[in-house]
């Protein structure tokens, strides 16, 4: 995908959340089962406190799952959907950032102190460019101290027949309104409920691409890799990296 198309896809995604973010957030209130291994690791090492980076924090539901397990945790929450990330909990410091643009070199991610852990869930599929996905993993690992962990999820929606059919239908509908000639393998647009002409860009990372992304990150080893979530229990693939050095 070229840079112009990538910028257009990110603009559509930003518009999607501006228009239907509140409705979308209401369907994303609870914790995912796939978070449990991450939370177990954080709880095991967080008795005396924990500094966490939550990149693309959304509506802060990971924090709501974390704090009962690690009451002394502190979270740096970063996203551009300000309305979704409203919370008066003093353990949360929110920073506004257009993460997709920053990963494309248009601006930068917030400068934060080193953390014990970094997470990024339900966001990787919104990045149109491979270079953005590589940089995201690198930024997560770079944000943590040696021995810290970085956890990320990959929504493998194209492995689900129903979701793939919906993605193909939405992509075809979007072609009638938008220039989608630059889409590549694994690239789709997804709609939302019955709202017309509202689309978010979604990229399906297959196992081979995930392998390549992991290999591109220096100074990190795979601590865990597994599938979870959805009716099938396999809708998301999680990768937990431990920083070496």
Relative to beta strand 144-155, strand 220-228 is: unpaired
pLDDT at 19: 82
Cβ neighbours for 165, distance < 8 A, ≥ 6 positions apart: none
pLDDT at 245: 80
DSSP assignment string, the chain = --HHHHHHHHHHHHHHHHHHHHHHHHT--SPPGGGHHHHHHHHHH-TT-EEEEEET-TTSHHHHHHTTT-TTEEEEEEES-GGGG----TTEEEEE--HHHHHTTSS-PPP---EEEEEE-S-GGG--SHHHHHHHHHHHHHTEEEEEEEEEEEE-GGGSHHHHHHHHHHHHHHHTTS--TT--TTEEEEEETTEEEEEEEEE---HHHHHHHHHTSSSEEEEEEEEE-STTS-SEEEEEEEE--
pLDDT at 57: 95
pLDDT at 135: 96
For residues 150 and 117, the answer to whether their CB atoms sit within 8 Å is: yes
> What tokens were used for 203?
């990229």
Distances (CA, A) of 118 to 84, 220, 242: 20, 13, 10
Mean pLDDT per block of 10 residues along the chain (245 residues) reads 91 87 74 96 87 95 95 95 84 95 92 96 96 97 96 97 94 84 91 86 97 96 97 96 93
Cα angle at 212 between 174 and 126, to 5 degrees? 25
Residue with tokens 């944000």: 143
pLDDT at 232: 93
pLDDT at 20: 78
Residues linked to residue 225 through DSSP beta bridges, in sequence order: 239
For the whole model, what pTM was predicted?
A: 0.94
pLDDT at 107: 85
Per-residue burial over 191-212, b if 16 or more Cβ lie within 10 Å, else e, is bbeeeeebbbbbbbbeeebbee
Residue with tokens 């998301």: 236
Distances (CA, A) of 135 to 51, 85, 102, 208: 21, 24, 10, 17
Hey, what domains does the chain have and what are their CATH numbers?
Answer: 3-243 (3.40.50.150)
Cα angle at 53 between 34 and 187, to 5 degrees? 60
> What tokens were used for 56?
């693309």
């Amino acid at each position: 995908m070229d840079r112009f198309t990538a910028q257009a896809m990110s603009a559509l995604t930003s518009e999607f959340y501006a228009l239907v973010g509140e409705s979308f957030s209401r369907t994303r209130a609870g914790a995912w089962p796939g978070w449990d291994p991450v939370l177990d690791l954080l709880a095991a090492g967080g008795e005396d406190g924990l500094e966490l980076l939550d990149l693309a924090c959304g509506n802060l539901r990971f924090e709501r799952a974390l704090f009962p397990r690690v009451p002394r945790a502190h979270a740096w929450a970063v996203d551009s959907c300000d309305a979704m990330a409203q919370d008066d909990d003093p353990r949360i410091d929110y920073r506004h950032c257009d993460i997709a643009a920053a990963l494309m070199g248009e601006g930068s991610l917030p400068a934060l102190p080193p953390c014990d852990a970094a997470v990024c869930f339900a966001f990787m599929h919104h990045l149109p460019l491979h270079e953005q996905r590589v940089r995201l993993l690198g930024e997560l690992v770079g944000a943590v101290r040696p021995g810290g962990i970085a956890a990320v999820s990959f929504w493998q929606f194209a492995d689900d027949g129903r979701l793939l059919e919906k993605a193909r239908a939405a992509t075809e509908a979007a072609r009638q309104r938008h220039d989608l000639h630059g889409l590549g393998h694994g690239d789709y647009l997804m709609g939302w409920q019955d709202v017309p002409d509202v689309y978010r860009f979604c990229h399906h990372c297959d196992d081979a691409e995930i392998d390549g992304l992991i290999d591109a990150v220096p100074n990190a080893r795979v601590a865990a890799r597994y599938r979870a979530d959805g009716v099938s229990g396999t809708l998301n693939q999680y990768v937990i990296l431990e920083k070496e050095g």
